[in-house]
Structure 1
């Protein structure tokens, strides 16, 4: 099975794959030597670019929000957009929000990455080193919050509590891109494209799993561009030889014959993990 698995956020799926003895290779845990995630990146780009679009819709009154225009107009404040996480999805979310002329604040623990974003946007995107105090301060002032946090393979950390949401502006909107990895807001739970939002206190939560499914034409091409070479290698060489010859692809192996080979997934569910070398011998 070669696909997105997101097992850290889904114990029933993990147990089913282990019980079936499935060899599961997860797109989202394939790592290149520079720690980039080549098979997750295109969907992170799509979800990141979608987040301000869906957020701006739900900020409108008919979308359930406070009735705020992202870019404002002359003489009226633009929307205040907070993006938590400056990885691939967060960077793309910030880019689109800035293009919509919103006021954008980007938080991340990686100051080097924030420095890079500051250089790209020449100060037009505010960057702040992330900690509990700064997250709270930013969220309370926000019209739109985009959660774009990722720990590869692991469950997303909870950064925004129910209590904090209770103090946010009425009609504010929260978009949780991290929902496929369990979500980074305490009250996040997966929703669908048909029924995407729900209220928490006086704020609108958008937690659609598989956000790129809203734009399948774009997403299919973006994903196939990067997955096809790996799929060809798996088909031509068989999974074991393909993984032995490509350490990046080998890191995608999550399950095999009832064993977990991904440590963050095992930790999320309280299971033991076996070393990759033991499986690939």
Structure 2
């Protein structure tokens, strides 16, 4: 199989879909890997590393999309990339279709077989291709939130860790999954007072045990969120409904409950955001203000630490890339129900129930589509 890896073109996206190590593995399996010139530079991988691993370097994205049987990316294809996709081709990347009707429509029109990283599952009920980037984004969230809290950046001027004689800042983390736990770990390490909300009592119990009293856990209700907002210096939105749009957990009206200069960090922005006032931003222009509250809503937070993120993502995706290439997509999906859960579109048909529900579309079960 010809595996293509184009340069990411989403603003300030420095990650790359394949590492040189992944190229070497794929080449050892007898596959030809096509890498766009300069694709790995943002993550610190020059073209010569890919050549040494066995890749063929092509000059532009058009050449990659024209030749490749499977496209391996990081972020969802942008409009110009979607125009180059075709029936019979496999696209393997993050898609986040639920809040993006235009992308859904154009993937369906292209006929491409699109497999979404974020809905591939594992035997423990986890999301193995989302988890590494969730871990990165969670660890970044308190860092970027602390930066936003600085007065020069529009924040209230609170130092999260405080100093002797001055109380530390209060951080509220909504969601106790991979993102929330990672965010809590860093916020606790910074010296903040941290409260984590979740609707799974067993998960709250796990967090209580792991942190040994260094944070507060609370069952997540609308009333609990409203009660915590007035004292919060930072609220981190870390909720996930796999494949579906994120629920809106803080309304615009509730911003009036918060202190001026407080910060919302919306890690769920890829799935539409969990704050009513959120909209996607970029690393170049990451923060905006609504009713005196600062919002950090960068849609590709892990791209800020591209080398770490690329290696972490590559470790998770490589076994699936090899399975798709070695067996062909149909057999690979037939034999692996967890990979099959990632199927989003195939030859003009939608295979995701959550996306169908979010956009009012018809869908077919992946089993029916692959035959």
Q: TM-score, normalised by structure 1?
A: 0.99
Q: How many residues align?
A: 281
What's the offset of the Cα at 1:166?
2.2
Residue-by-residue CA offset, 1:71-120 (whole Å, 9 max, x unaligned): 00111110000000001000000000000000000000011000000001
CA distance in 2, matches of 1:7, 1:80: 34
Are the counterparts in 1 of residues 229 and 257 from structure 2 also a CA contact under 8 Å?
A: no
> Does residue 176 in structure 1 map to residue 277 in structure 2?
no
Are 1:84 and 2:174 matched, yes or no?
Answer: yes
SS of aligned partner of 2:248: coil
Residue 248 (structure 2) aligns with: 158
Larger radius of gyration: 2
Contact 2:188 2:194 in 1 (8 A): yes
**In 2, distance between residues paired with 1:30 and 1:98?**
31
1:59 aligns with 2:152: no
Question: Aligned partners of 1:74, 1:138: CA distance in 2, in Å?
Answer: 24
Gaps of at least 5 residues in structure 2 are 1-90
Residue 33 of structure 1, aligned match among 77, 102, 123:
123
Equivalent pair of 2:148/2:155 in contact (CA under 8 Å): yes
Shift of 1:32: 1.2
Matched, 1:70 2:164: no
Larger RCO: 1 or 2 (CA < 8 Å, sep 6+): 1
Q: How does 1:188-207 map to 2 (within 5 A)?
A: 188-207=278-297
What is the distance in 1 between the residues matched to 2:365 and 2:293? Answer: 44
Aligned with residue 189 of structure 2, among 64, 76, 99: 99
Structure 1 vs Structure 2 CA RMSD: 0.7
> Which secondary structure state, in structure 2, belongs to the residue aligned with residue 215 of structure 1?
helix
Q: What is the SS of the residue equivalent to 1:243?
A: helix
Residue 132 (structure 1) aligned with residue 233 (structure 2): no
**Which residue of 231, 250, 258 maps to 2:321?**
231
Q: Equivalent of 1:210, from 287, 300, 323?
A: 300
Residue matched to 1:240: 330
Query: CA offset at residue 124 of structure 1?
Result: 1.1
Q: Give 3-state SS (helix, strand or coil) of 2:339's partner.
A: helix
Distance between the aligned counterparts of 2:230 and 2:239, measured in 1?
19
TM-score of the superposed pair, with normalisation by structure 2: 0.75
Structure 1: which 4+ aligned runs deviate by more than 4 Å? Answer: none
